[in-house]
Amino acid sequence: MCGIVGYIGSREAYPIIIKGLKRLEYRGYDSAGIALYDDGTIKLSKTKGKVEDLESKVQNEISTHGTLGIGHTRWATHGIPNDTNSHPHYSNSGDLVIIHNGIIENYESLKNELEKRGYSFKSDTDTEVLINLIEEIKKNSKVKLGKAVQIALNQVVGAYAIAVFDKNKPNEIVVARLGSPLAIGIGEDEYFIASDATPFIEYTNNAIYLEDEEMAVVRRHKKIKIRKIKDDSLVSPYIQELQLNLEQIEKGGFDHFMLKEIYEQPHAIRDTYRGRLLSDQAIIKMAGVEDNMKTFLNANRIIIVACGTSWHAGLVAEYIFENLVRIPVEVEYASEFRYRNPVINNNDVVIAISQSGETADTLAAIKLAKASGAFVFGVCNVVGSSIARETDAGAYTHAGPEIGVASTKAFTTQITVLTLIALRLARAKGTLTSSDYRKHLIELEMIPEKVEHTLSSDSLVKSIADIYKSAQNFLYLGRNYNFPVALEGALKLKEISYIHAEGYPAAEMKHGPIALIDENMPIVVIATKKGHYEKVVSNIEEIKARKGKIIGIVTEGDTSVKNLADHVIEVPETLECLVPLLTTIPLQLLSYHIAVMLDKNVDQPRNLAKSVTVE
């Protein structure tokens, strides 16, 4: 997490960096800071709080002139969020300054060593240790900044994306990465540095994404040179043309990114299957699957690794793959999988799901699976992300940038990609008849329209949110394909409204959660037709008998649940495996409206960050 931005060129760096930091606030937002070089001095300002707090502080503290600068928005790891622990950090001499995204694991021993040599530390951060290590090496070995950074990074254990400059060398910024993303935007005689491309998209479409263990000295008026940190070898830079545009990363008239992204889902799902689902020819075309068809078809099992919402998409995929393709599937939290010595062999196919493509635990799970001989397929949204590059093959979701910290369109587009894969495999394996296969394709193609229709329940959902916004707890229940949707609905509510919520398979209710039910407990029950509908209706009866308040998510035209529930929200009918794409929508809206009514920061909920690049 943490967002880093840098600029070197002929424009004023300050507005570029501040605007860039605002775009990266989704990565962390407990403190922010900036360091600018101007006329022989470093001007540094930093504060606990958001980028707008930094802007106010800067007005009273420093002049904002300078054509070279670095900025940071923080998600605290070492040291509480306060002014001192905020980045940038100076070295003891005050000559060097650094911003860092990641964790230096061996910082304590490095710090002890530096203290013995007379260094002192103002903050509790690992980053301040790193900048002083660089300073010590630079002084002792009499090397240039780039070399000192390289030597220091070879002594460091951990993860980093860093940008460093020296006030005595005001024409260069040294950058490096291991485990945390770093992109360099290439303009006309100017360079931009950032954790992702959003801070510089209005200035250039050309970017280099540093790979792990690479560093670069970004110099004014000079071409970029990239080197391997370990052995100093030169790497030829690969300049990518970015597909992003400015509109995609702005709110477009919505009050929050989350709401915009909820409403973007019809379009995003269409983008996901565009060019892949050719229903008139009854074809699914996905190069990553086609090229590895044998591996998929010979797989003993599929292991899905992911975190958070992506893990919920993985659970939906478990039902889809097992039902349609008849391949056993296991879904694992990447954070558990990576540390529990799992049995993996080379007949396993691992599917890693990640919106950001940067989640540290998912990345580590992929590395472990690859080392054990498994074929790893990635489902990512962010093009060129670490996970997209680390996997053997993959499919992008093409959802467009997701800025709201609470994941919405990422979830539905992940399910869409996973459904396409399952359908393609089912066809190849013969586990679906050709007429069933066609039926699925046609129905999947109609999903965006049905999501659009589901979104028209927004004002109804808002009125329900108003009734229950003060509840202390919520329960979400669903069976079969709707069980992961219940988990996802509960997660959405927790993370943005801070109301405690739990998701359960509906039948599990009687094994414990039923004890929680009284007249104050709102219970969201997803009770669409099929999916053991009658059994869910019995569960609703059990809730009713205990006076729980029932919010039913039902299929259009339903009458049984309508008679029992306090409120119902309808979704259009569809095939069972596609139901999550619809039932998720009212749950996203419910959490959104409750959070807004409670005056919470919907797009940047407390303690969270969009891209979890620490374990």
Beta carbon nearer to ligand F6R, 91 or 310: 310
Residue list 487-526, contact with ligand F6R (CB under 6 A): 491, 495
Q: Does 539 bind ligand F6R (CB under 6 A)?
A: no
Beta carbon nearer to ligand F6R, 31 or 613: 613
Residue list 283-322, contact with ligand F6R (CB under 6 A): 307-310
Beta carbon nearer to ligand F6R, 354 or 416: 354
* β 549-555/522-527 pair status: parallel
d(CA 274, CA 447): 13
Phi and psi torsions of 57, nearest 5°: -65, -40
For residue 255, what is the DSSP state? S
Length of the chain: 615
d(CA 320, CA 375): 20
HSE (side-chain half, CA atoms, 13 Å) at 288: 21
d(CA 523, CA 474): 6
- 10: which residues sit within 8 A by CB, 6+ positions away? 67, 189, 190
* Total binding residues toward ligand F6R, as defined by CB under 6 A: 15
d(CA 49, CA 56): 11
d(CA 235, CA 214): 8
Tell the smallest beta-carbon distance from residue 488 to ligand F6R (Å): 8
Give 535: exposed, middle or buried? Use CB within 10 Å, 0-12, 13-18, 19+: middle
Residue 50 three-state SS: coil
Beta carbon nearer to ligand F6R, 34 or 268: 268
Region of residue 188 (left: phi > 0; alpha: psi -120 to 50; beta: else): beta
Q: Please indicate whether residue 2 is annotated as part of the active site.
A: yes
Tell the smallest beta-carbon distance from residue 308 to ligand F6R (Å): 2
Beta carbon nearer to ligand F6R, 204 or 355: 355
Q: Does 614 bind ligand F6R (CB under 6 A)?
A: no
- Hey, what amino acid is at 170? P
Q: Angle 145-153/126-141 helices, nearest 10 degrees?
A: 120
Beta carbon nearer to ligand F6R, 134 or 410: 410
* β 301-306/329-333 pair status: parallel
Tell the smallest beta-carbon distance from residue 425 to ligand F6R (Å): 23
Q: Does 397 bind ligand F6R (CB under 6 A)?
A: no
Stretch that binds ligand F6R, among 27-35, 87-95, 243-251, 352-360 (CB under 6 A): 352-360
Q: Does 604 bind ligand F6R (CB under 6 A)?
A: no
Q: Please indicate whether residue 169 is annotated as part of the active site.
A: no
Q: Does 406 bind ligand F6R (CB under 6 A)?
A: yes
CA-nearest of 506, 21, 462 to 262 is 462
Query: Which of residues 186, 315, 612, 614 is near ligand F6R by CB under 6 A?
Result: 612
Stretch that binds ligand F6R, among 92-100, 353-361, 427-435, 470-478 (CB under 6 A): 353-361
Q: Does 413 bind ligand F6R (CB under 6 A)?
A: no
Beta carbon nearer to ligand F6R, 28 or 66: 28
Tell the smallest beta-carbon distance from residue 210 to ligand F6R (Å): 19
Beta carbon nearer to ligand F6R, 381 or 555: 381
Query: Which of residues 101, 335, 407, 497 is near ligand F6R by CB under 6 A?
Result: 407
Tell the smallest beta-carbon distance from residue 2 to ligand F6R (Å): 15
Tell the smallest beta-carbon distance from residue 273 to ligand F6R (Å): 20
Q: Does 331 bind ligand F6R (CB under 6 A)?
A: no
Q: Does 261 bind ligand F6R (CB under 6 A)?
A: no
d(CA 171, CA 10): 11
Set 409, 494, 549, 610: catalytic member: 610
d(CA 141, CA 248): 47
Tell the smallest beta-carbon distance from residue 490 to ligand F6R (Å): 11
Q: What is the residue whose two structure tokens read 């979104």?
A: 455
Structure tokens at 445: 């193609």
Q: Does 359 bind ligand F6R (CB under 6 A)?
A: yes
Query: Which of residues 31, 132, 295, 356 is near ligand F6R by CB under 6 A?
Result: 356
CA-nearest of 112, 117, 71 to 92 is 117
Q: How far is CA 265 from CA 269, 329, 483, 609, in A?
A: 6, 27, 21, 22
Q: Does 403 bind ligand F6R (CB under 6 A)?
A: no
**Residues annotated as catalytic (active site), given as ranges:** 2, 610
| Contact residues: ligand F6R, CB under 6 A | 307-310, 354-356, 359, 362, 406-407, 491, 495, 611-612
